[in-house]
Amino acid sequence: MVLLMVVTTILMGLVMLLVWRTNFILTLLFTTVYLVVELILLSAMLFKFDQGGWAPLAIAALFLLVMYTWYYGTLKKYEIEKQNKVPLSWILGLGPSLGLVRVPGIGLIYSELAHGVPSIFSHFMTHLPAIHSVVVFVCIKYLPVNRVPPSERFLFRDIGPKEFHLYRCVARYGYQDLHKKDDKLEESLLDNLAHYIKDNSLSEGSTDSEEVETPRVSGASLTELHFIKGSSNNDSIVEEGSMEMVSPSQSRNECQHVRFGIEPEESGSESEGMIFLHQARQSGVVHILGDVIVKAKRDSNVVHKFIIDYVYSLLRRICRENSVILNIPHESLFNIGQVYYL
């Protein structure tokens, strides 16, 4: 406990200097006073190490081992997913039908990758002869902020030409944003996807510019998305483009609520995209998650096998599944099993 207080005081001094820009003399005075008291307590506890003072250190070392094991296993799992992602050229070579039967409906494929097509998609295509007419790759990211406004939660981008009906969605949450049972993640995601399709159809004529401004409407606020595109003429095929969210525009008028109904004055391409999404949504939405089993390679050393096969596997079993965290209905859940050898 005292060691934690010492570390906290040192970090507090760094925050005062680098973040708060406090006067150096005041920062030094604050740090010195607290460190003197805490170091005296720490030295007194070190003399009692053989009389029970080792117990807190042993407990702290155990928690450190557990946390590092979880971090190590999660990092290795992400690296495997990143290495096995499907090339975009392979997707484009299959054509709009993707070499399968496109059945009506929307498939939400969850992955940790913010770029590239996850391997779960190729695994799905290999073992099943059909795929949904609209496929959205959903990546949930937690940002180092307390909360993300609902109007800035979702970022969308096309994967391939429009006739493929493949989209990427990055859902951003803060560390204080909780997934509750009454949160309508599916409804919010699809409503924002409808906004993106509508706004993207309005900006089709500006493909010659380096930067395309795509307005986004959600609830009672309007946010602008800027897609930084490459030099290729067919920007919709460029999948690895970056996305940047800027602050809401203050000069916009009152925003409109997105409807899946089509207004008579809408353009033909916009109406076609909205109608297609509306029909797919009426057919049903399926949440596709990967049920990954992590194992150590056969040629791994004993320590690595123990960490991955026993400790990390135990931590994964006692943690909540992603379907529980996201409150996905059981009747619309589809798990795909995969085995990763780390």
pLDDT at residue 223, as a whole number:
33
Q: What is the spatial order of strands in the sheet that 242-245 belongs to?
A: 211-218, 221-228, 242-245
Q: Is the dihedral of CA 226, 230, 232, 237 positive or negative?
A: negative
**Do 184 and 40 share a structural domain?**
no
State the Cα–Cα distance between residues 79 and 61, nearest whole angstrom.
27
Domain containing 26: what range? 2-47
> Which parts of 200-248 are beta strand (E)?
211-218, 221-228, 242-245
**Do 17 and 166 share a structural domain?**
no
**Range with the largest mean pLDDT of 59-73, 91-105, 198-212, 231-245:** 59-73
Domain count, the chain: 2
- Residue 125 amino acid letter: M
pLDDT of residue 85 exceeding 50: yes
State the Cα–Cα distance between residues 311 and 201, nearest whole angstrom.
50
Q: What is the DSSP letter of 152?
A: G
Percent of the chain scoring above 70 in pLDDT: 78
Select from 236, 261, 283 the last residue of a domain: 283
Residue 57 placed within a domain: no
**Do 98 and 9 share a structural domain?**
no
Output 63 or 43, whichever has higher pLDDT: 63
- Residue 145 amino acid letter: V
**Do 89 and 42 share a structural domain?**
no
pLDDT at residue 35, as a whole number:
92
Mean predicted confidence (pLDDT) in 107-124: 86
State the Cα–Cα distance between residues 327 and 184, nearest whole angstrom.
9
Residue 42 placed within a domain: yes
Mean predicted confidence (pLDDT) in 324-339: 82
- Here the tokens at position 341 are 């050898």
User: If you average pLDDT over every residue of the chain, what do you get?
Assistant: 76
Q: Would you say 38 and 6 are in contact if contact means Cβ atoms under 8 Å apart?
A: yes
**Do 192 and 147 share a structural domain?**
yes
**Do 91 and 43 share a structural domain?**
no
Residue 179 placed within a domain: yes
Residue 158 placed within a domain: yes
pLDDT of residue 1 exceeding 60: yes
pLDDT at residue 71, as a whole number:
92
pLDDT at residue 34, as a whole number:
92
pLDDT digits (tens, 9 = 90+) for 12-23: 999 999 888 889
pLDDT digits (tens, 9 = 90+) for 244-283: 333 333 333 333 333 344 343 444 445 677 888 888 888 8
Select from 249, 267, 283 the last residue of a domain: 283
Residue 71 placed within a domain: no
**Do 88 and 39 share a structural domain?**
no
**Do 258 and 158 share a structural domain?**
yes
**Do 13 and 122 share a structural domain?**
no
Residue 259 placed within a domain: yes
pLDDT of residue 203 exceeding 60: yes
Mean predicted confidence (pLDDT) in 61-90: 88
Residue 273 placed within a domain: yes
pLDDT at residue 204, as a whole number:
60
**Do 92 and 13 share a structural domain?**
no
**Do 23 and 91 share a structural domain?**
no
Q: Would you say 57 and 42 are in contact if contact means Cβ atoms under 8 Å apart?
A: no
**Do 149 and 275 share a structural domain?**
yes
Q: Would you say 162 and 225 are in contact if contact means Cβ atoms under 8 Å apart?
A: no
How do beta strands 242-245 and 221-228 pair?
antiparallel
State the Cα–Cα distance between residues 300 and 24, nearest whole angstrom.
50
Q: Would you say 227 and 211 are in contact if contact means Cβ atoms under 8 Å apart?
A: yes
Residue 340 placed within a domain: no
φ/ψ of 252, rounded to 5, equals -80, 155
Select from 246, 268, 283 the last residue of a domain: 283
